Structure 1
Amino acid sequence: MPEGHTLHRLARDLTDAFAARGVRVSSPQGRFADEAALLDASTVESAEAWGKHLFVTFTGERVVHVHLGLYGSFAITAGVESVPAPVGQVRLRLVAADDERATYADLRGPTACTLMTPAEQGAIVDRLGPDPLRPDADPERMVERVRRSRAPIGTLLMDQSVLAGVGNVYRAEVLFRHRVHPLRPGTAVRRRTLEAMWDDLVGLMEEGVRTGRIDTVRPEHTPEAMGRPPRQDDHGGEVYVYRRTGQPCFVCERPVRTDVLATRNVFWCARCQPAYRPRAVQ
């Protein structure tokens, strides 16, 4: 499932491509046909992301809410002489045409694609935790939620009502970078550690928006610095533990471990992220 930086990058690109432009809106697949007809020939105002949710706002206080889920994609193609016929199951197509060139975007396979009001958008946002990529985010909300919970920190970081936009890659990597075991209870994570993790996520995810990939290794652990081959993985980017089960840790060389936590694989280094051992009751 795309992580939050992907949605923010997509929102930026949709805004650049379509904001303040009249668009033709259609649903070649047919599952969004009635809603598309209501939006056709209107103007896109903006697109924004909150966590893993995308909101495209049209004139008349109408909002298209998209959640890509596991298999969704929203591909933008700019500067074409003519718009080709849709290929595959296109749920939503946006087309903006100038005198000689056109831009179009095709949405395929989303978990959600619905037309809603700003109030309904607000109801979705109210259920989400703070998003490290939003300037209006309040990290204290995340810190307080974690500090009140005995659930594992590895579970809490993936809970979108606690922290919006973080997925399995950022979860594994930020825990490694701060030497926190994924099974450590939220109540046992120090406030300053959580604050440092938040700041780290802001920087890492902003870089993800800029580059379109997830890179989490520090300069001394890059392939160039270590003389190792670049990582080969479909998610892209250089990482410490994510999907590196059995491979040596870049810091201590102990094999990276993995287990299942709340139905998702979790990755960690047993030496760099020591297991939590509560103090004995006196």
Structure 2
Amino acid sequence: MPEGHTLHRLAREHKKLFVRRPVRVSSPQGRFTASAALVDGRVLQRAEAYGKHLFHHYGPDAIVHVHLGLIGEFSSLPLPELPPVGQVRMRMVGETHVVDLRGAIICELITAPQRRELLARLGPDPLRKNADPDLAYARIKKSKLSIAALLMEQKVLAGVGNVYRAEILFRHQVDPMLPGRQVDRALWDELWADLVTLMRRGVRVGRIDTVRPEHLPRAMGRAARKDRHGGEVYVYRRAEEPCHVCGTVVSKTILAGRNLYWCPTCQKG
């Protein structure tokens, strides 16, 4: 599932292509036709992301809300407009580009009050300038759940997914099973600050890189990572491979229905 940096990167792209200009909106697939007709030809006022949610604002009474889910994606091509390929839920046509949305779990038209109601159910987004880490910590400190489970709870922290979860815990040598109520404030401040740094880098480069310079392939004389997710990481999707720091075999288990990766030596608590 795309993590928060991907949605913020998409918001930046859509601002550049469409904001303050009329946009033709359609639904070649047909599932979004009625809603698309209500914003077709209107000026896109702004595009923004919050956590794993993307919002296109056409006015206070018309906001397109998108959640990509597991397989959703946007594709962008320069004009001229070509016939849609595959199941295109929403097509946006501007002055220079065509953007198609496929496979999203949510593509709906909502109002400003509905957007506020949705955001009220989410935790702070590390990529938002007004994010308040105190809100997330208050929820973590009250919980018996593991910190690994809590970091994936969007009502605790918005935008963090499986990759950032595994990597941030490794970078700070945190046992993923540490109960939230045992996370002290100093540790949380370190985790939050590092998340902000790593996720902002993800927005800039379009991939997740978490490995420190001294552990990069060239510094260690090892082969670069080959994975469809891209980026250099410490433990994510590296089960049964040696830890870059201590050499211990990276472990994997299932937690709350998702794969969890960690180093049992570096993160023994």
Q: TM-score range by the shorter chain?
A: over 0.9
Conserved 8 A contact 1:14-1:76: no
Supply the distance in 2 between the matched residues of 1:8 and 1:236 (Cα, whole angstroms).
Answer: 18
Alignment of 1:80-95 (within 5 A): 80=79, 82-95=80-93
Structure 1, residues 133-184: CA drift from partner, whole Å, max 9, x if none?
0001000111111111110100000000000000000000000011111111
Alignment of 1:173-252 (within 5 A): 173-252=167-246
Conserved 8 A contact 2:60-2:112: no
Match of 2:144 in 1: 150
Structure 1, residues 115-150: CA drift from partner, whole Å, max 9, x if none?
010110111111000000000100011111111111
Match of 1:260 in 2: 254
Supply the distance in 2 between the matched residues of 1:212 and 1:148 (Cα, whole angstroms).
Answer: 34
Supply the distance in 2 between the matched residues of 1:61 and 1:245 (Cα, whole angstroms).
Answer: 48
Partner SS state of residue 188, structure 2: helix
Supply the distance in 1 between the matched residues of 2:225 and 2:204 (Cα, whole angstroms).
Answer: 20
Structure with the greater alpha carbon radius of gyration: 1
Change (3 A) 1:60 1:273: closer
Match of 2:16 in 1: 16
How far 1:229 moved relative to its partner? 0.8
Supply the distance in 1 between the matched residues of 2:59 and 2:82 (Cα, whole angstroms).
Answer: 26
Matched residue type, 1:250: H
Partner SS state of residue 44, structure 1: coil
Structure 1, residues 170-228: CA drift from partner, whole Å, max 9, x if none?
00000001111111100111111011000000000000000000000001000111111
Number of matched residues?
A: 269
Conserved 8 A contact 1:153-1:184: yes
* % identity of equivalent residues: 55
How far 1:77 moved relative to its partner? 2.0
Matched residue type, 1:76: S
Structure 1, residues 1-34: CA drift from partner, whole Å, max 9, x if none?
0000000000110011000111111100000001
Match of 2:117 in 1: 123
- Gaps (5+ residues) in structure 1? 276-282
Supply the distance in 2 between the matched residues of 1:60 and 1:214 (Cα, whole angstroms).
Answer: 34
Matched, 1:75 2:69: no
Supply the distance in 2 between the matched residues of 1:236 and 1:73 (Cα, whole angstroms).
Answer: 16
Match of 2:100 in 1: 106
Match of 1:279 in 2: none
Supply the distance in 2 between the matched residues of 1:21 and 1:31 (Cα, whole angstroms).
Answer: 25
What value does the CA root-mean-square deviation take over the aligned residues? Answer: 0.9
TM-score, normalised to structure 1's length?
0.94
Q: Which runs of 4+ in 1 moved over 6 A?
A: none
How far 1:59 moved relative to its partner? 3.3
TM-score, normalised to structure 2's length?
0.98
Matched residue type, 1:32: F
Match of 1:96 in 2: 94
